Amino acid sequence: MRQNLNQATSFDRLPDALTRIPANLPLVESRRITVVFRYDDCNSESSIFLERNLIEAFRSHSMPFTIGVTPFVTSGEVDDASPCPAIPLGFEKIELLKHMVETPDTEIALHGISHQTIRPGADGGCTEFAGLTLCAQRERLDRGRRFLEATLQVPVTTLIPPWNSYDENTLRAAYASGFTTVSGDTNGFAPCGSPLQFVPFTCTLVGLKSAIRWARMSFDPAPIITVLFHPYDFARAAQPRPMTIDQLLNLLSWVRGQADVSTATIAGLGVRGADVSAERLDRYRAARGSLISRLIPGHASRSRVYGSTR
């Protein structure tokens, strides 16, 4: 089964010279940066060897992370809408996930139901939810959440839509199904006044250090950086180059050593009382046009730190 590929974020493509903090910009002394690690595409087909190593890497640094699980992954191509059988989580993967959630601050999120698109990518992009009726989306979300909660004996309150694609009906269905948080991307639909929380991904592993440097320049006293990674980031064919477990360990060690950085799961942000409202996401989008966003070429994609730069 071919996995979906997300484009690299701007932090991953910036020349090194542009990732350094300009000397004439003051830092905010009271700032506290929060980093959230979001691992997508855990399913019956993903590498159990890799995921064991990921568990040990985060555990060795007492680092929380959120894992997006697809309970009934398609046996075909994820970007092909043709009907095909689903593959439920197998015994070995279930046992691994049960072991995983024994670690404090490890969160299980629902990453779609089968991760199969309902339409061709050329017809508006791949999606598993957007365009379906409210009832159809509610049925899918209920099924996935009930399966994970009954199988793993943990609450599942975060929805990670495949391809970060969803619509208004998805949000209505998610709230009705008992989800509290949606984690898509920064362009996702987030109506002001929504009772849901929104924690979009903002960079990948290779862009994290740059994102933290830019967060230190913002005027937000509590920036949030959500790091998205997948099994294919560790595959030999990964572009521009594969991540290794040793590199991940070094990155986690570096993050742990930053005095102004803490870590949390997606659900943990809400528990901490962090502002992850739709209004915050709206302010973040508006900040893309601010002066500080224009300091480097491609300013609109520079604002990869979730928070206002005003």
What are the sequence ranges of the domains in the chain? Answer: 22-302
- The more confident residue out of 144 and 300 is 144
* Inter-residue contact 263 to 34 (CB < 8 Å): yes
Amino acid at 35: V
pLDDT at position 166, please? 97
16 pLDDT more than 60: no
pLDDT score, position 91: 96
pLDDT band at 239 (very low <50, low <70, confident <90, very high): confident
What percent of the chain has a predicted confidence (pLDDT) above 70? 83
CA–CA separation, 226 vs 5, rounded Å? 18
Please give the full DSSP string across the chain, using - where no structure is assigned.
Answer: -PPP-PPPPHHHHS-GGGGSPPTTSPP-TT--EEEEEEEEEESTTS-HHHHHHHHHHHHHTT--EEEEE-TEEESS-TT--S---EEEPPHHHHHHHHHHTTSTTEEEEE--SS---SS-GGGTS--SSTTS-HHHHHHHHHHHHHHHHHHH-S---EE--GGG---HHHHHHHHHHT--EE--BTTS---TT-SSEE--B-EEGGGHHHHHHHHTTSS-SS-EEEEEE-GGGGSTT-SS----HHHHHHHHHHHHT-TTEEEE-HHHHHHHT---SHHHHHHHHHHTTSGGGGSSSSHHHH--SBS---
Q: Is the pLDDT of residue 8 over 60?
A: no
Quickly state the pLDDT bin for 17 (edges 50, 70, 90).
very low
Q: Are 32 and 225 in contact (CB under 8 A)?
A: no
Tell me how far apart the 2 most distant CA atoms of the chain are, in Å: 58
| 300 — pLDDT class (breaks 50, 70, 90) | very low
Q: Which CATH number fits domain 22-302: 3.90.1410.10, 3.50.50.60, 3.20.20.370, 3.40.50.300?
A: 3.20.20.370
Mean pLDDT value across residues 154-161: 98
Residue 130 has pLDDT above 60, yes or no: yes
Cβ 251 vs Cβ 234: under 8 Å: no
Residue 242 φ then ψ, to 5°: -70, 145
Q: What is the pLDDT of residue 290?
A: 57
Rounded Cα distance between 203 and 305, Å, is 8
Residue 121: per-residue pLDDT: 86
User: How far is C-alpha 116 from the geometric centre of its chain's CA atoms?
Assistant: 18
Most confident of 28-42, 196-210, 292-306: 196-210
Judge whether residue 118 has pLDDT over 90. yes
pLDDT tens-place string over residues 25-49: 445 556 799 999 999 999 999 999 9
pLDDT score of 294: 46
Structure confidence by residue, pLDDT tens digits, 247-291: 999 999 999 999 999 999 999 998 889 999 999 999 888 776 554
